Amino acid sequence: MLCFLPNADAETPAPAYAWESWKPRLQGVDLLYLADPYLILDGDVPITGSWFVNPETGASILPDIAQAVNILARRKGYGRVVFYGSGMGGYAALVLGSFIRHGHVIAERPQIHLDADPRARAILAAHGYPTNVPTITELAKNGFGRAARVTLIASMYDADHLDNHTAPLIEELRTSERRATGATFEIVYYDIPSTDEDDATLAINRARPHLAAAGLLDLRPAPTADGAEEKVLVDAP
């Protein structure tokens, strides 16, 4: 099963689902789309991204989502669950993947240090970091919990996420002791601009190899709308 997590969204009314346009291109894969449960764009205090923190209690609901996904995976007999997200969704994917046995994570430009994002910083100012979930740095140092594979995708055109999130994580891991066992962890750098669609780093043809590595897709050419075969790019440019 492939689970898509939402970005912080200042434009799309709730519920907002990311990567819906990919659905026709992922035939044969069970898809689960999650929206930001606390997205409020028209209130006195708009919330364009909650980072899955309950604004009343300050607790993260990601453990509850992980429990529900675990139940669904057992009932459906899924051999693996892949979490895919960008930005806020990348953060959620990293947390959720650590709670799922044999979970796989594909996180585009994830917000690793929430205090480096002004919208997330407002959440922290109100409640502090949720005490019921570890930070991404803590997860990385401990092998990402129960996850089997973690792929962090960074765009060389995205200085904000590179400088404030990816680079600090690499430095923290380099200077700390890490658990010997844990998920296969890789960071993939792409020298391409972000796409307009979903404000994501990768278009679907470049995401397909990462989905294949997670065991969801093979690398046969994907059919296009007119029946022609699309060239799938396996190697990063």
Domains of the chain: 2-230 (3.40.50.1820)
Binned at pLDDT 50, 70 and 90, residue 18 comes out as confident
Q: What is the pTM of this model?
A: 0.85
Q: What share of the chain in percent tops pLDDT 90? A: 31
Specify the pLDDT at position 204. 82
**Is pLDDT of 180 > 80?**
no
Write the DSSP symbol of residue 29. S
Q: What is the pLDDT of residues 3-15, one digit of tens each?
A: 999 988 767 766 8
Q: Are residues 6 and 17 in contact, defined by beta-carbon separation less than 8 angstroms?
A: yes
Specify the pLDDT at position 234. 29
The residues, ordered by sequence, that sit 6+ positions from 199 with a Cβ below 8 Å of its Cβ are 7, 86, 87
Q: ω before 15 within 30° of 0 (cis)?
A: yes
Query: Torsions phi, psi of 51, nearest 5?
Result: 55, 30
Across 11-20, 36-45, 49-58, which has the greatest mean pLDDT? 49-58
| Residue closest to 26 by CA, chosen among 88, 87, 82, 94 | 82
Q: Which two tokens stand for residue 171?
A: 């430095």
Binned at pLDDT 50, 70 and 90, residue 157 comes out as confident
- Mean pLDDT, all residues of the chain: 81
- Kindly report which listed range (90-99, 105-114, 173-182) carries the lowest average pLDDT score: 173-182
**Is pLDDT of 226 > 60?**
no
Q: What is the pLDDT of residues 46-69, one digit of tens each?
A: 567 889 999 888 999 999 999 999
H/E stretch holding 3: strand 2-4
State the Cα–Cα distance between residues 223 and 208, nearest whole angstrom.
13
| Residue closest to 19 by CA, chosen among 161, 199, 153, 190 | 199
Binned at pLDDT 50, 70 and 90, residue 174 comes out as confident
- In one-letter notation, the amino acid at residue 26 is L
Mean pLDDT throughout 106-112?
92
Binned at pLDDT 50, 70 and 90, residue 107 comes out as very high
Q: Are residues 113 and 168 in contact, defined by beta-carbon separation less than 8 angstroms?
A: yes
Q: Which two tokens stand for residue 222?
A: 């994907």
Binned at pLDDT 50, 70 and 90, residue 41 comes out as low
Residue 26 to residues 6, 34, 236, Cα–Cα distance (Å): 18, 17, 21
Specify the pLDDT at position 43. 57
